[in-house]
Amino acid sequence: MIISFDIGGSAIKGGIARSETDIVPLGRRPTPRDDFAAFVDTLRAIIAETGEEPSRIALSIAGVVDPDTQRLICANIPCIHGRTLAADLEAELGLPALIANDADCFAMAEAGLGAGRGHRIVFGAILGTGVGGGLIADGRLVNEAGGFAGEWGHGPIIATAAGNPPAAIPAYACGCGQKGCVDTVGGARGLERLHKTLHDLDLSSEAIIGQWQDGEEKATRTIDVYVDLVASPLALTINITGATIVPVGGGLSNVEPLLAELDHAVRARILRKFDRPLVVRSQCRIEPGLIGAALLGLKAEALLPKA
């Protein structure tokens, strides 16, 4: 048995995993953001809830493990940022610890139990507040040792003009320090930014999508530009990875007509042709972080069959 955790900036959720078909969520507790001892105590309390001794723990975190130093980059939880978190938790809890990025865990969940079942190469894409992703090949996470594989949201790649007719697109500054990243236009905040650029209107992503679905002209223009901007880098990602399915998570994945538009545009721009949807809504809608971390932990314990 292993215990998986989904570590967020506001809450820590736990789960017991005995097999891929037996993953049971536990409760949730507030995340101690500035006190590492309290952070460890929270994990210890969740472990104690089970009344059992796990063989290891596996954590899904909105951060990245540097593959060279094994230090965690996690700005929204200062008490674990910069730590060699796996080693630190092993020392504190006396259990082997596995740390994985939340988008990687999402991709793992979809590959193992969601829309990616039966596919050798699965690229899990996040279209939420921002843009993220994870890559699974032959049932294994490419980032098992940490790293940035799957981060299609970053890099100066966004087109300078998009839509029909083309509209000029600024190289928006990105939080990663670069300009023109997919993350600046591909998530909910990016959609709002595009609408402001195109029409000088401040609307929420929900309002823009609602107006688009009602056929409103300005919102329709924004979605046209959005799909054009996002489809090309996603198509390039698919060409490079060879993914045969792209499950999408995050808030925008709930808008299935938007995913259908994106899927149509992506399939028109890739080398391999598919006569079926490629960019699809994720199937693991509840606790994908817990599920993905659990599957990674079970694989590490050799409690799952090899792919």
pLDDT at residue 233, rounded to an integer: 98
Q: Same structural domain for residues 242 and 273?
A: yes
Average pLDDT over residues 212-239: 98
pLDDT at residue 305, rounded to an integer: 53
Q: Same structural domain for residues 95 and 183?
A: no
Q: Quick one: pLDDT band at residue 145, thresholds 50, 70, 90?
A: confident
Q: Same structural domain for residues 157 and 8?
A: no
Percent of the chain residues past pLDDT 70, beyond the cut = 98
The residues, ordered by sequence, that sit 6+ positions from 259 with a Cβ below 8 Å of its Cβ are: 248, 253, 279, 280, 281
* Lowest model confidence (mean pLDDT) among 142-146, 192-196, 266-270: 142-146
* Lowest model confidence (mean pLDDT) among 25-29, 43-47, 106-110, 232-236: 25-29
pLDDT score of 184 more than 60: yes
Q: Give how far Cα 173 sits from Cα of 203, 236, 306, Å.
A: 20, 22, 43
pLDDT at residue 114, rounded to an integer: 96
Q: Same structural domain for residues 55 and 128?
A: no
Q: In one letter, which amino acid is 259?
A: L
Q: Same structural domain for residues 72 and 142?
A: no
Q: CA–CA separation, 156 vs 181, rounded Å?
A: 5
Q: Tokens 């536990």, residue?
A: 26
CATH number at residue 37: 3.30.420.40
* Lowest model confidence (mean pLDDT) among 87-101, 116-130, 162-176, 289-303: 289-303
Size of the chain in residues: 307
Is the residue at 160 inside a domain?
Answer: yes
Q: Same structural domain for residues 143 and 230?
A: yes
Is the residue at 307 inside a domain?
Answer: no
pLDDT score of 33 more than 70: yes
pLDDT at residue 301, rounded to an integer: 84
Average pLDDT over residues 37-51: 94
pLDDT at residue 152, rounded to an integer: 96
pLDDT at residue 124, rounded to an integer: 98
Q: Same structural domain for residues 130 and 235?
A: yes
- Judge contact between 45 and 39, C-beta under 8 A: no
Provide the whole-model pTM: 0.93
- Judge contact between 131 and 233, C-beta under 8 A: no
pLDDT at residue 22, rounded to an integer: 92
pLDDT score of 303 more than 60: no
pLDDT at residue 118, rounded to an integer: 96
Three-state secondary structure string covering the chain: CEEEEEECCCEEEEEEEEECCEEEEEEEEECCCCCHHHHHHHHHHHHHHHCCCCCEEEEEECCEECCCCCCEECCCCCCCCCCCHHHHHHHHHCCCEEEEEHHHHHHHHHHHHCCCCCCCEEEEEEECCCEEEEEEECCEECCCCCCCCCCCCCCCCCCCEECCCCEECCCCECCCCCECCCHHHHCHHHHHHHHHHHHCCCCCHHHHHHHHHCCCHHHHHHHHHHHHHHHHHHHHHHHHHCCCEEEEECHHHHCHHHHHHHHHHHHCCCCCCCCCCCEEECCCCCCHHHHHHHHHHHHHCCCCCCC
Q: CA–CA separation, 238 vs 148, rounded Å?
A: 16
Is the residue at 109 inside a domain?
Answer: no
pLDDT score of 226 more than 70: yes
Q: Same structural domain for residues 99 and 150?
A: no
pLDDT at residue 107, rounded to an integer: 97
> 244-260 pLDDT, tens per residue?
999 999 999 999 999 99
pLDDT at residue 106, rounded to an integer: 97
Name the average pLDDT for the chain. Answer: 95
Q: Quick one: pLDDT band at residue 286, thresholds 50, 70, 90?
A: confident
Query: In this structure, what DSSP letter does residue 251 have?
Result: G
Expressed as residue numbers, the domain containing 52 is 2-104+286-300
Q: Same structural domain for residues 155 and 250?
A: yes
Q: Same structural domain for residues 147 and 254?
A: yes
